């Protein structure tokens, strides 16, 4: 536990640094104004929600092998936090869209993809509340999580080629190389690391509280 305390302090300092630097450093991208600073938060949120869903996938597959309830609990915890970060990414994106393109929502294919992504994990939780007993619920949600992971990349990477996107291209990656300049890159990756650590911390807390809830339920049955 002591090591984790150190990590929490490190995380606090990192977040303060990222927040301060994201406002005081120069404008991140030419052609956009100060509003582009939101990308320091928007993009890490989107990436972290993707990491969360990846963690959900891994534990879902693990559950089908092990049939161990803790794996299912971890999968569900990851999906919950993934949804929170997904919503944050959507909101920050909408704010940026309002300032840059004049509307909060314009059915850009990227915006649509994240809504589909959230719909998938919304469906995942709808499934969880509708299925009993526990073993069946865990198995079904694991199966659905795996299937969802075929739909999501198809949607995110393949379909957009057929539809136009307003999204700024070549901001992060251009010609296979990372396209961010010096300080911008430092702040961006600092933020990404901070958000990633935050995710794993929340994830750890969430499945442990889940475990406590479960043991309380189990006691009430006896």
Partner 1 sequence: MRFGLRGVFKDISFRLASPSSLTVTGPNGSGKSTLLKIIAGLLVPTSGRVRMESDSDEIKAESRRKLMAMVSPEMNFYDELTGAENLEFFMKASGSRLKPEEIEEALNEVGLQGRGDDYLKAYSSGMRMRLKYALAILKQPEIMIVDEPSTNLDASGRKIIYDLMHRHQQNGILIFATNEDDEIAIANERINLAR
Partner 2 sequence: MSELTWPAKLIALVVKDFRVELRTRYSLNALIMFALVTLFALGVTFTGQNLTFRIHAALIWIMIYFAGLQGLSGGFVKEEESRTAMALRLYAPSSVIFFGKLIFSLLILTILVVFLFPLYYILMNLEITRIWIMLLVLILGIFGLSATSTITAAMVSKANVKGALFAVLSFPLMLPLLLVAISATTVCLGGGDSQALWDSLKIMIAYPVIVTAVSFLLFDYVWNN
* From 50-58, 130-138, 155-163, 169-177, span contacting partner 1 (CB under 8 A): 130-138
| Cβ-contact 48, 173 below 8 angstroms | no
Shortest Å distance, C-beta 79 to partner 1: 21
Q: Given the complex with partner 1, which of 102 and 133 has the nearer CB atom?
A: 133
Shortest Å distance, C-beta 214 to partner 1: 8
**DSSP state letter for 176:** T
| Cβ-contact 11, 194 below 8 angstroms | yes
> Given CA atoms 44, 115, 151, 67 in this order, what sign does their dihedral have?
positive
Does 136 bind partner 2 (CB under 8 A)? Our answer is yes
Indicate which of partner 2, partner 1, none lies near residue 221 (CB less than 5 to 8 Å, by partner kind).
partner 1
Does 221 bind partner 1 (CB under 8 A)? Our answer is yes
Q: Which of 173, 143, 212, 201 is nearest to 15 (CA)?
A: 201
Q: Beta-strand (E) ranges in 116-204?
A: 173-174, 177-178
Q: Which of 51, 28, 6, 70 is nearest to 168 (CA)?
A: 28
Six token digits for residue 187: 């702040």
Does 135 bind partner 1 (CB under 8 A)? Our answer is yes
Q: Given the complex with partner 2, which of 112 and 191 has the nearer CB atom?
A: 112
Q: Given the complex with partner 1, which of 98 and 214 has the nearer CB atom?
A: 214
| Cβ-contact 171, 157 below 8 angstroms | no
In the complex, the residues that contact partner 2 under the rule CB under 8 A are: 64, 116, 119-120, 122-123, 126-127, 130-132, 135-136, 139-140, 142-144, 146-148, 150-151, 154-155, 158-159, 161-163
Which residues are at the interface with partner 1 (CB under 8 A)? Answer: 132-135, 214, 217-218, 221
């Amino acid at each position: 536990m002591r090591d984790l305390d150190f990590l929490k302090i490190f995380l606090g300092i990192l977040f303060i640094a990222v927040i301060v630097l994201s406002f005081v450093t120069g404008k991140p991208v030419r052609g956009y104004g100060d509003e582009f600073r939101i990308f320091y938060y928007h993009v890490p949120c989107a990436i972290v929600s993707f990491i969360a869903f990846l963690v959900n996938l891994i534990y879902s597959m693990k559950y089908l092998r092990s049939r161990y309830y803790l794996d299912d609990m971890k999968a569900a915890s990851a999906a919950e936090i993934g949804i929170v970060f997904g919503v944050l990414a959507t909101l920050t994106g909408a704010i940026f869209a309002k300032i840059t393109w004049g509307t909060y929502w314009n059915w850009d294919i990227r915006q649509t993809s994240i809504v589909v992504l959230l719909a998938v994990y919304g469906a995942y939780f709808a499934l969880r509340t509708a299925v009993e007993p526990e073993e069946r619920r865990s198995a079904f949600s694991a199966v659905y999580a795996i299937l969802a992971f075929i739909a999501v990349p198809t949607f995110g990477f393949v379909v957009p080629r057929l539809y136009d996107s307003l999204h700024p291209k070549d901001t992060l990656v251009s010609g296979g190389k990372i396209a961010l300049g010096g300080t911008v890159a430092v702040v961006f990756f600092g933020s990404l690391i901070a958000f990633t650590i935050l995710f794993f911390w929340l994830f750890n807390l969430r499945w442990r509280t889940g475990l406590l809830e479960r043991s309380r339920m189990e006691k009430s049955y006896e």
